[in-house]
Structure 1
Amino acid sequence: MKKKLAIDAMGGDFAPKSVVEGVKQAQAAFSDTEFILFGDEEKIRAYLSDETNITIVHTPDKIDSGEADPVKAIRKKKSASMVMAATAVKNGEADALISAGNTGALLASGIFVVGRIKQVDRPGLMSTMPTADGAGFDMLDLGANAENTARHLHNFAVLGSFYASNVRGIKSPRIGLLNNGSEASKGAPLQKEAYDLLSADTSINFIGNVEARDLLSGVADVVVTDGFTGNAVLKSIEGTASNLMKQLMTAINQGGLRAKLGALLMKKSLYSLKDSLDYEKAGGAVLFGLKAPVVKSHGSSNADAIFATIKQTHKMLETDVVGKLVQHYNAENGVAND
């Protein structure tokens, strides 16, 4: 059975060009997948030469990146590319939704159109972040929720564990709770209560508190935190990685001939360092806990980043991670699976 991806072709800084070119890479890689592109048909078709396994659904509107009220935007703009793509997933016409568009609008589309799994109180926004050893770690919530309860954080741990195990193939992934110290007694009331809930859950491999300074060294496979803190940490990592590379290039350019020759000899190593800091190579951010995969690619994504997001989403469908998650919750609550 073919996998069907609903793709918001008008989302992102370089849409539809980067989106369509990313789809073309995926078209060559995945013959078992149908790509349904939602957006301005004329603009999309300008970048297509082969429409094998590609369907274009023309939409007269799109969600702008600067929408002040994303929830209002998706309710008002029913014919926008993102909303129509989400509706296709809701109606079973597609298996997953991908967009590089407005994050708030995509979160709203995922929650209010696609819908959350019944037993998940708050879906979490999760991304695979880089580590020094190249293995990476999954972190959530990265900003889908401004405030969270301890129960939400426990929920995130289960979600992250399922993703790391099924999509990334990690056996018994290590779950860490982001805190201001590794001791069990550390943290505010939220962290202390979450620690107790996580410690009591034998279905996950909870290793205790982890500190922000250890994240990139691979201290855990999954790190859970509230959305406000997670978003701040994400932007800190992004900013540090970007500035590190800029400072390195400045030092090389201002270092004279010897520095330039040294950089030339180390070219392969420098590119390897750049790749190790590029979180987009792992794909997009998943709004996990919904009835179907909804994946957010970065707004500035190029074709390669779009392809990485499609590859990630394809793996989620291939492993049926959402279906397995539903089965887990049903079994936990004594509900028979269909």
Structure 2
Amino acid sequence: MIRVLVTDGMEKSAVKELRAKGFEVVEKFYNPEILGEKLREFDVIVVRSATKIRKPIIDIAAQTGKLKIIIRGGVGVDNIDVSYAKEKGIKVANTPNASSASVAELVLAHMFAVSRFVNISNVSMRQGKWDKKKYVGVEICGKILGLVGYGRISRQLAKKASALGMKVIYTDILGKAKDTDEYEFCELNNLLKRSDYVSLHIPFIKGKGVTIGKEQLDMMKNGAYLINCARGGVVDEVALVEALNNGKLAGAGVDVFVEEPTKNEALVNHPKVSVTPHIGAATKEAQVRIGNEIISIICDFFK
């Protein structure tokens, strides 16, 4: 029987369906020290973002040759040493389509929150304050949204933002998209200088460093907003707090952090910041889609 280890949770209906199809599914989180040994007993591992599968774990897991595929339930695979796994004959797959709409909607939620002080007024009212005159916000309609990275999530966000009356511009490491002329392509520095809102949709590449640091933040419009629902490591959190403190940025929406769970109280408690605990894909609809996509990946691989 093909054995599947699910370490970070999975939609219950998907687990039930896998079992009905004859797969043995074990739902359990293992600490890194023992994960490699446990993986010697499984054909498949399904992870989210909590489990990190690095070279030492892969080395131990590959000793028996039983582990055939690592599946990331989500878009990014930066918590997996992908190239090394492939060198060891282990396939790596993800579910890039399932959570695009959910993440795009969360970006918009953060944009609305910081634009209209939903984040901080929610807190102040619970403290008995009525700061009506203090919270004069801005409308997003008519503003420029700059997308850094133009993948599946960006494309979803572009459509939604455009429908709300925003002008969308984008940049991407691959250059101008060949399949659309609907939005304007520009280089990163130009995008940063022009955008009222900058939303990040790029992976964190270990060893490459941040994409948005002090230099990039200084380029942005005075009073602009930065939204990061991509990966924590792509933004210099210290530089971000500084830009919020000195008034360079009017606000920020942050769903992902350099360290998770984050200990950065200066960022989390900042009155200009809307924060969420890495919940971009955490909708019921997305979890069902992710589960279905994982089932398809496993069934196609072992058919």
Length-normalised TM-score, structure 1? 0.33
Task: Compare the two structures and name the one with the higher helix fraction.
Answer: 1
Pick 1 or 2: higher relative contact order, CA cutoff 8 A, min separation 6.
Answer: 1
Length-normalised TM-score, structure 2? 0.36
